[in-house]
């Protein structure tokens, strides 16, 4: 059951059980304009984190903004976390994580099948994406390309250094074909982005645009042979779902992040 208020907007895409009280509450509130402000959302979220244990027994664990908190079964060498880890081990009910600075690389590998099953999209979405892949696939080598625009284009986020425009991406894709000795005619680049794109820089490349919606683009990328994309959790999640390599745009190295750093070019 999804009880995370930050996840309410995506409930409709997944095969969750009947939504609980908080999912219904935040989903209803999301229809009002006042809910769109970060301040309103923050106040409601703080209320949620204090109220949830009155309705559902469990332990709330706040993240450590100064240090990454590794959850079991991943080892955490920070001694300041020992007492909290002990509480987690002894907790017989739910454990609620408040914050983003949590990591569990061992758990993600160990429980990958269970996690994918728990977040299985609805059948209609899966079939639509599978049909799209079949139409462009065949014997072709499908390379998912994720271009994150939005906040990445802003100088306020990493001074804009994580944003790659169409010309830069096109050059990376051409370098990929050359260094990987791929046949351009049998390699299809499936581009997914959160904004409009100019396709002129991709002239000469075999390009297909993704379906367009967030969840369908995520699934589309996961069904490709590899992913080349922005340094974003969206691309890494798609790679995790599909168990495929993830190349990250990088102006100096242009490397894959996976089991190792495989440079190209």
Partners of residue 103 on adjacent β-strands? 70
The pLDDT assigned to 55 comes to 73
pLDDT digits (tens, 9 = 90+) for 41-88: 777 777 777 777 777 788 889 898 889 999 999 999 999 999 999 999
- Sorted by where each starts, the structural domains of the chain and their CATH numbers stand as 5-118 (no CATH), 123-263 (3.40.50.11350)
- For 161, 227, 237, the CA distances from 157, given in Å and listed in that order, are 8, 23, 21
Tell me the pLDDT of the chain averaged across its residues. 85
Range in 19-33, 119-133, 179-193, 241-255 the model is least confident about = 19-33
CB atoms within 10 A of CB 25: 15
| Residues 70, 104 contacting (CB under 8 angstroms) | yes
What global pTM score does this model have?
0.85
| Paired sense of beta strands 255-257 and 246-248, if any | antiparallel
* Tokens at 21, concatenated: 């009280």
Residue 170, C-beta contacts closer than 8 angstroms, at least 6 positions apart? 201, 202, 205
Report whether pLDDT(117) > 60.
Answer: yes
Residue in this structure with the two tokens 């490349």, named with its chain if needed: 205
Smallest Cα–Cα separation from 218: which of 98, 129, 127, 105?
Answer: 129
């Amino acid at each position: 059951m999804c009880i995370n208020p930050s996840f309410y907007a995506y409930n409709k895409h997944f095969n969750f059980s009947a939504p609980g009280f908080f999912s219904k509450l935040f989903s209803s509130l999301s229809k009002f304009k006042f809910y769109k402000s970060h301040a309103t959302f923050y106040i409601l979220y703080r209320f949620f984190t204090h109220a949830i244990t009155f309705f559902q027994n469990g332990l709330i664990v706040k993240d450590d903004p100064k240090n990454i908190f590794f959850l079991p079964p991943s080892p955490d060498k920070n001694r300041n976390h020992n007492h909290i880890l002990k509480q987690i081990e002894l907790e017989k009910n739910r454990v609620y994580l408040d914050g983003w600075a949590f990591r569990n690389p061992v758990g993600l590998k160990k429980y990958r099948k269970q996690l994918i099953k728990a977040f299985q999209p609805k059948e209609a979405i899966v079939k639509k994406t599978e049909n799209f892949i079949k139409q462009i696939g065949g014997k072709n080598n499908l390379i998912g390309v994720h271009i994150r625009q939005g906040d990445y284009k802003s100088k306020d986020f990493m001074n804009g250094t994580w944003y790659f425009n169409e010309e830069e991406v096109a050059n990376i894709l051409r370098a990929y074909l050359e260094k990987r000795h791929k046949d351009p005619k049998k390699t299809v680049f499936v581009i997914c982005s959160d904004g409009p794109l100019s396709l002129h820089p991709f002239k000469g490349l075999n390009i297909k645009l993704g379906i367009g919606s967030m969840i369908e683009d995520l699934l589309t990328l996961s069904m490709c042979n590899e992913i080349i994309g922005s340094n974003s959790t969206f691309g890494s999640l798609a790679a995790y779902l599909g168990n495929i390599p993830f190349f990250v745009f990088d102006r100096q190295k242009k490397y894959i992040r996976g089991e190792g750093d495989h440079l190209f070019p």
